[in-house]
């Protein structure tokens, strides 16, 4: 079946569409997660260098770079893998029927591996030890609540836009939300188990101590469960649009 778009008053057929193969989607997720971690860690290291001792300015620089980078990365890989870049996005999407559970089982290890690879790369780019374990303790009930809120909000943004057929603005909206959540959440909005694991391997501004990671991941999963319930109530027919989260994973058929 052909799709079509409108140019002026003329309908122009588009090629038939198909889902990208799993290996291609996994490569896209790995690359996207690696770039995301490199942006988060690299901009944190740069902020420490450019604005030493000015914590607010360092956080602003880190947040601005992450928001802009996330926008660009989702545009880069979204059409291939959906641009999940986050295990909780994949899990909730599978719960709504947008992606197969067997694909989620493949996505999550690749997302984690990508975030670790990106962190190691960022460390090396700035002349630091490729692997250095963070001592930045983020263990408190306030941090965990912040992660619940951050994850809940992120998933609501993504699925609301998919359900309302506005997935084309998702990259910008996700970047804007994460940039804002750096400041309005106590945890600086990781909202992503894979990035939480990756950030353990950098003893820099954006790192997190290994002891803090289980609490962050648990809070993120709680946020995802709450988000699933809220989305199901607000958008009861969201399953119809679940395949468009974060970006429709469809490619033109080529000969």
> How confident is the model at residue 236, as a pLDDT?
87
Distance separating alpha carbons of residues 42 and 52, to the nearest angstrom: 15
> How confident is the model at residue 107, as a pLDDT?
97
Torsion, CA 226, CA 174, CA 211, CA 186, rounded to 10 = -80
Instruction: Look up residue 209 and give its two tokens.
Output: 């101590």
CA distances from 159 to 87, 156, 190, 239 (A): 15, 5, 18, 10
> How confident is the model at residue 11, as a pLDDT?
41
Parent domain of 77: 22-241
What is the pTM for the complete model shown?
A: 0.88
> How confident is the model at residue 184, as a pLDDT?
97
Q: Which residues pair with 14 in a beta bridge?
A: 3
Residue 250 belongs to some domain of the structure: no
Across the range 84-110, mean pLDDT stands at 96
Confidence of residue 249 (pLDDT cuts 50, 70, 90): low
Instruction: Look up residue 208 and give its two tokens.
Output: 């997190």
Looking at per-residue pLDDT, the higher value among 254 and 152 belongs to 152
Residue 255 belongs to some domain of the structure: no
Cβ proximity of 188 and 59 under 8 Å: yes
Q: How many domains does the chain have?
A: 1
Cβ proximity of 159 and 233 under 8 Å: no
Confidence of residue 239 (pLDDT cuts 50, 70, 90): confident
Distance separating alpha carbons of residues 198 and 117, to the nearest angstrom: 8
Residue 254 belongs to some domain of the structure: no
Confidence of residue 254 (pLDDT cuts 50, 70, 90): very low
Across the range 70-79, mean pLDDT stands at 95
Distance separating alpha carbons of residues 22 and 13, to the nearest angstrom: 27
- What's 82's domain CATH number? 1.20.1080.10
Check whether 7 has a pLDDT greater than 70.
no
pLDDT per residue as tens digits for the range 176-190: 999 999 999 999 999
Residue 27 belongs to some domain of the structure: yes
Name the residue with tokens 């309005």: 184
Across the range 65-94, mean pLDDT stands at 96
Residue 82 belongs to some domain of the structure: yes
Torsion, CA 89, CA 93, CA 99, CA 101, rounded to 10 = 80
Name the residue with tokens 């990781």: 190
Question: DSSP letter at 166?
Answer: -
- Alpha helices (runs of H) in 82-184, residue ranges in sequence order: 87-95, 101-125, 141-163, 170-184
Using alpha carbons, select from 40, 36, 225 the residue that is nearest to residue 112: 36
> How confident is the model at residue 83, as a pLDDT?
93
Confidence of residue 248 (pLDDT cuts 50, 70, 90): low
| Mean pLDDT over the full length of the chain | 89
Cβ proximity of 14 and 3 under 8 Å: yes
Give the other-Cβ count within 10 Å of 222's Cβ: 16
Check whether 6 has a pLDDT greater than 50.
no
Give the other-Cβ count within 10 Å of 201's Cβ: 26
Confidence of residue 242 (pLDDT cuts 50, 70, 90): low
């Amino acid at each position: 079946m052909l799709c079509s778009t409108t140019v002026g008053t003329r309908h122009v057929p588009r090629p038939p569409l198909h889902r990208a193969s799993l290996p291609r989607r996994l490569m896209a997720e790995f690359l996207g997660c690696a770039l995301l971690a490199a942006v988060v860690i690299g901009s944190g290291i740069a902020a420490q260098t450019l604005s030493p001792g000015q914590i607010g300015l360092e956080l602003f620089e880190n947040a601005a770079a992450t928001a802009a980078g996330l926008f660009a990365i989702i545009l880069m890989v979204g059409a291939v893998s959906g641009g999940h870049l986050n295990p909780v996005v994949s899990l909730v999407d599978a719960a709504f029927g947008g992606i197969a559970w067997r694909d989620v089982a493949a996505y999550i290890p690749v997302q984690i591996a990508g975030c670790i690879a990106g962190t190691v790369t960022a460390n090396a780019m700035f002349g630091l030890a490729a692997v250095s374990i963070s001592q930045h303790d983020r263990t408190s009930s306030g941090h965990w609540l912040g992660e619940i809120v951050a994850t809940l909000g992120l998933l609501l943004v993504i699925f609301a836009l998919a359900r309302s057929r506005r997935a084309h603005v998702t990259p910008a909206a996700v970047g804007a939300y994460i940039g804002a959540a750096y400041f309005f959440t106590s945890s600086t909005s990781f909202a992503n188990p894979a990035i939480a694991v990756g950030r353990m391997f950098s003893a820099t501004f954006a790192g997190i101590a290994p002891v803090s990671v289980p609490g962050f991941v648990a809070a993120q999963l709680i946020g995802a469960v709450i988000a699933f319930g809220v989305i199901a109530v607000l958008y009861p027919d969201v399953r119809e649009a679940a395949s468009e989260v974060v970006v429709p994973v469809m490619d033109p058929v080529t000969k």
